[in-house]
Each structure stands twice: as structure tokens, then as C-alpha cells.
Amino acid sequence: EAAVTQSPRSKVAVTGGKVTLSCHQTNNHDYMYWYRQDTGHGLRLIHYSYVADSTEKGDIPDGYKASRPSQENFSLILELASLSQTAVYFCASTPGTEVFFGKGTRLTVV
Amino acid sequence: GEQVEQLPSILRVQEGSSASINCSYEDSASNYFPWYKQEPGENPKLIIDIRSNMERKQIQELIVLLDKKAKRFSLHITDTQPGDSAMYFCAASVNYGSSGNKLIFGIGTLLSVKP
């Protein structure tokens, strides 16, 4: 099965601080995504990338940056964390159709 | 942005009965429609999918129907079991040309199967 590894699995961050969520895939997939999950909102796309060194904005990119330094790695960066960014974040990869999700990162901003 | 509407948000059924979840999408160019099941504390996992060249697909107790004209698709779980209790998400692919593909998800349906 496709392997998508996220780190950390959980994090408590201080308001205004910088947070970096990391994602690594060993599947040689072109596409990688960052989704955010909140109750009542399902899975919302933050940023995605279909090739190394390039990222695209998803549906809710405000307050987030993304970085794809290599095909295997895709990071989500919160430069100034806010309370509203408390959520579970999922990284995913796909060769083009089936999407494989990581285990998720539970981020709590206090 | 593109939307995928999913109903109902909560579904309670008796063990052995059928459960149906309905989704609709906006982009007529969408050509891939997967369904994901998420257990509590776990990541979403693909359970069945259908492409736009099909109208019906079945894998064991899971049936997916696609109506391209109406831009609707649905998941039907026959003979539900307590182990089917979970959150279910539908999704539709959206192609943005040089910006690649995106998968847009519905808000999810929390299915509870009572013994």
C-alpha cells in the first residue's frame, strides 16, 4: 500500500508562532495535497503540488504556505499560527486518481 | 471554488437495512468520483470509485451510481453491519489544466448502524 508519512502526529503551538507540518511519500506520486479537516466542513484543500519546486493554492490557502522541495516531500507552513487554525491536517499523495492519505496531524493552537 | 454537496450529514439505520448517501457536483468536466470511509481517529481510506464512463459499479455490498446529466452520484450500502459505522466522504475530481488535478470533497456523512 502507498505510504504517506506525516510528522509530527500532534502539536500544540502558541498563537503567533511558526508551525511546520511535514509530509513524506515513498510512492513516486506526482501529486501531493494538504487538506484540513474540521467538523461540519469535511476535508478542505489548502495547497497542492503536481511537481517538485511548484505549489498551487487550493480552496482555503490564506494563512498557509506550502513547499515541495522534492517529489517525496511536501510541507505546510503556518508563519503566524492563529486559534482558527486548530484542526486535523491530512497530507495525501496520488498518481492521478486514488488518493492516499497520511495518518494526520492534530494541531492545537493556544 | 468548486463545490461538492453531500447529504445527509447524519444517517442512522438499523443493522441489515440499506443506507444511501447522495452527492452532487458542479463541474461537468469532472470524470472521477471516489468514496472514502474514515473510522474515528483514522485517515480516510478509499472504498469504491467510479469513472465518468460508467453508470454503476458494485463491490460486494457497496453500490455506486453516477448520473452525469444530473451531475449526481450516490453510494448505497446494502445489508449494513455495525462495522459500517463511520464517516463517509464523496469526492469529485476537477482538472485545472496546467495547474493539475484537484479532488474536492463533500462535508461527509456520519453513518451509525444500530444492532
List pLDDT tens digits, range A32-66: 999 999 877 789 999 999 999 999 999 899 999 99
Q: Which residue of A has its CA nearest to B88?
A: A42
Question: Sorting pLDDT into bands at 50, 70 and 90, what band is B94?
Answer: confident
- Do residue A58 and residue B46 have CB atoms under 8 angstroms apart? no
Q: How close A93 gets to chain B, by Cα (Å)?
A: 11
Question: Sorting pLDDT into bands at 50, 70 and 90, what band is A96?
Answer: confident
B108 touching chain A per CB within 8 A: yes
- Do residue A50 and residue B99 have CB atoms under 8 angstroms apart? yes
Beta-bridged to residue B74, according to DSSP, are B22, B65
Rounded-to-integer distance, Cα A103 and Cα A109, Å: 19
pLDDT at B9: 95
Beta-bridged to residue A24, according to DSSP, are A5, A73
pLDDT at B99: 63
- Do residue B107 and residue A42 have CB atoms under 8 angstroms apart? yes
Residue type, B28: S
Rounded-to-integer distance, Cα A5 and Cα B65, Å: 33
**pLDDT(B68) > 80:** yes
